[in-house]
Amino acid sequence: MSSTPTRVYLARLVGLPIFDPQGDQVAKVRDVVVALRSESTSQPRVLGLVAEVFGRRRIFVPMTRVTNIDSGQVYTTGLLNMRRFEQRSTETLVMGQMFDRRVTIRGSGDGADIQGTVYDVAMEQARNRDWVLSRVAVQEPSKGFRRRGQTHTVEWRDVEGLARREETQGATHLNATLSEMRPADAANVIHELPRERLLAVVAAMNDERLADVLEELPEEDQVEILELLDRERAADVLEEMSPDDAADLIADLHPDTAATLLGLMEPEEAEDVRRLMSYADKTAGAMMTPEPVILSPDATVADALAHVRNPELTPALAALVYVCRQPLETPTGRLLGAAHIQRLLREPPSTLVAAALDESMDPLRHDATIDEVAAHLATYNLVACPVVDEEGRLLGAVTVDDLLDHMLPDNWRDQADRPGPIAGGGGR
């Protein structure tokens, strides 16, 4: 362990890849587990890491299995127990439970005590080779408009309140860490948080970020979180979600709640959701996205490329553009055809998109079954395909990620009990 740093700050540790001795990535760090004794000034022992292995299972990695930590990765002995991690009553999660805890830094000499919240914690190896929590980073409350409070990094023994449970613990610094993760990874973290921490995190997230994370959570979590929000905010969050995901979520709510939220949404957003909910389940209409890139017949290649640069588009949605008669909002005028971005990249910018349409691409009917959609995408090697009504008007586009969401089991985001690639290891 000679190359391991003497001190590791845990906010930077979370999210790092974990490698086995052969250099293969086997997991990612999601949290750190410590044994926290009630208001003791002695440094708590770090028991291990909460790691996420492929398949979104969270397991426990004892620190005795960690052979090296550097600035960008963690190495283990390779012997990991694949049993799902379950927190014990004597254990504390550093990121999940200690970040944002209100504490007091004891004054030294004539110095006054300082109040603040925890935004990071450092661990280091003691002489007996155990890892312990050694330092705490604390931020004082903000002082005045937009003026951040002063920060302090102090020894563990100088801080009071780390073992005290709080009913109203904030989530500012935990959210700062989550904001650096992809929505799917952030969703996996908050799925495991205690209820009171989950409420604080949700309250501190902005609507757009919460919508992105909600789309990645299991259906039960989506419903629970939405029902915890006041109705106005719940409607705002639904507006930020993609219409197909919002429709799926609203369909899982009590009919009275669903009607209330649809009434509070902006009329255009609500109309898209209602239209998606009108199609039979497991059909192209029910799973499609009603907001693909739609262009008029006089649009150029330069116009198309400008539209697909939108960072909010998924890669599948950005792969195709659709040329339609007016109106250009779904349901559009008659669909003239679709063009692949890969083809457009080979054309001069001034060329009309209509001149580069894929003449061989047949659209899907809105009542096409999920098996028919899957067969169509697989047969023609497509990542997206237009969906039309009986009159040939574009209703939306079904993408391969939409298809997978509906073909996988309903609780696929929460399924973690499947065999993993890592063998062996003893129990905790």
List the CATH number of the domain containing 130.
Answer: 2.30.30
Q: What is the pLDDT of residue 81?
A: 86
- 329 pLDDT band, cuts 50/70/90, is very high
Single-letter amino acid, residue 178: L
pTM of the model: 0.66
Q: Are residues 27 and 62 in the same domain?
A: yes
Is 13 among the domain residues? Answer: yes
Residue range 400-414, pLDDT digits in tens: 988 988 887 766 555
User: Under a CB-based contact definition with an 8 Å cutoff, are residues 333 and 326 in contact?
Assistant: yes
Q: Looking only at Cα atoms, what is the longest distance across the chain? A: 83
Domain boundary among the residues 54, 85, 116 is at 85
Is 166 among the domain residues? Answer: no
Is 338 among the domain residues? Answer: yes
Residue range 78-127, pLDDT digits in tens: 778 888 898 888 889 998 888 989 999 987 656 788 999 999 999 998 88
Containing structural domain, residue 141: 98-160
Q: Are residues 127 and 38 in the same domain?
A: no
Dihedral-angle region of residue 133 (phi above 0 means left; psi in -120 to 50 means alpha; beta otherwise): beta
Q: What is the pLDDT of residue 195?
A: 78
Q: What is the pLDDT of residue 426?
A: 45
Angstrom distance (rounded) from CA 95 to CA 378: 42
CATH code assigned at 337: 3.10.580.10
Is 129 among the domain residues? Answer: yes
Is 424 among the domain residues? Answer: no
User: At residue 266, does pLDDT exceed 80?
Assistant: yes
Domain boundary among the residues 132, 160, 188 is at 160
Tokens 């629970």 belong to residue = 224
Residue range 47-72, pLDDT digits in tens: 999 999 876 788 999 999 999 998 78
Residue range 157-208, pLDDT digits in tens: 999 988 766 656 667 778 888 888 888 888 888 887 877 788 888 988 999 9
Q: Are residues 81 and 103 in the same domain?
A: no
Domain boundary among the residues 281, 308, 331 is at 281
Summarize the chain as % helix, strand, coil (round to 5): 35, 25, 40
How many domains are there within the chain?
A: 4
- 419 pLDDT band, cuts 50/70/90, is very low
Is 91 among the domain residues? Answer: no
Q: What is the pLDDT of residue 42?
A: 85
